Structure 1
Amino acid sequence: MVTPTLTQTPEDLRPALRRGVRLKCPRCGQGKLFRGYLKVADCCDSCGLDLTPQRADDGPAYIVVLVVAHLIGFSLMPMFSLFGDRPILIGTVLGLATILASLGLLPPVKGAFVALQWVKGMHGFDPARAEAKG
């Protein structure tokens, strides 16, 4: 299946976010977005999009903490009804769930942040600025 290359317009927000969440280039959807666990690649190996202007910083971590804390917080009551009054067991299970959920959510959320920055033309992703460079 050939994925069409997106332009940098607000209408392309959903497809770009979907591609970012799948850890693919927000423009073409083919190249890898990361070269490591959370290290964004310098450029797309498929379409050549320069990814160095991205500035996700702490945004993805804040979103992941917000989501995971709510999920774990809301699971406390079912855990107490499931395991009874065993705080060490509940703490261990919820602690492991917190770690696994956080590690699993960080790359897709960071990919979505990079895609959002690309679509909105934030930082060096601005198409006018890219044309001035080249």
Structure 2
Amino acid sequence: MTDNDHPLPPPVLTGLRGLCPRCGRGHLFKGYLTVPPACEVCGLDFSFADAGDGPAVFVILIAGFLVLGFALWLEFTFSPPLWVHVAISLPVLIIVCGGLLRVLKGILICLQYAHDASEGRLDR
């Protein structure tokens, strides 16, 4: 199967669902964040899939904004002691980070494939 056999599925929706960026049917992940060697449906080699630190950076920025906003709301609304902040905000932070990391990694890998992105190289 080649890339010209059919149009690519929408990369953002495909990444959100964790599916293969070429066929949109195979799984992009084996486990929670591990990318398998190839798609089980179309055979696309996932060796190009290197999202690097991109998903982690986006997760830090988004989760930091959300959880800090929640912690500030909690402080100004209820003025709880510090241990309540830790007991509530820390689990919220872990849930938000865990939920976003896989989704953003899938989106970035699918966008990387759709735009044929690769490492920068010097022209000689």
| TM-score, with length taken from structure 2 | 0.83
Q: Does the 8 Å contact 2:74/2:80 carry over to 1?
A: no
- The Cα RMSD (Å) is 1.9
Other-structure match for 1:91: 86
Other-structure match for 1:23: 18
Other-structure match for 1:36: 31
Q: Does 1:73 align with 2:74?
A: no
Q: Distance in 1 between matches of 2:100 and 2:6?
A: 26
More helix by share: 1
Q: Match for 1:116: what amino acid?
A: L
Q: Post-superposition shift, 1:76?
A: 2.1
Residues 1-134 of structure 1: pairs in structure 2 closer than 5 A = 5-7=6-8, 15-123=10-118
Q: Does the 8 Å contact 2:49/2:112 carry over to 1?
A: yes
Alignment: residue pair count: 115
Runs of 4+ in 1 over 2 A off after TM superposition: 4-7, 81-85
Overall identity of the aligned pairs, in %: 32
**1:44 match: secondary structure:** coil
Other-structure match for 2:122: none
Q: Match for 1:108: what amino acid?
A: V
Which stretches in structure 1 are left out of the alignment for 5+ residues? 125-134
Q: Does the 8 Å contact 1:54/1:123 carry over to 2?
A: no
Q: Which moved more, 1:34-43 or 1:109-118?
A: 34-43
**1:41 match: secondary structure:** coil
Which stretches in structure 2 are left out of the alignment for 5+ residues? 120-124
Q: Post-superposition shift, 1:83?
A: 3.6
Q: Post-superposition shift, 1:57?
A: 1.2
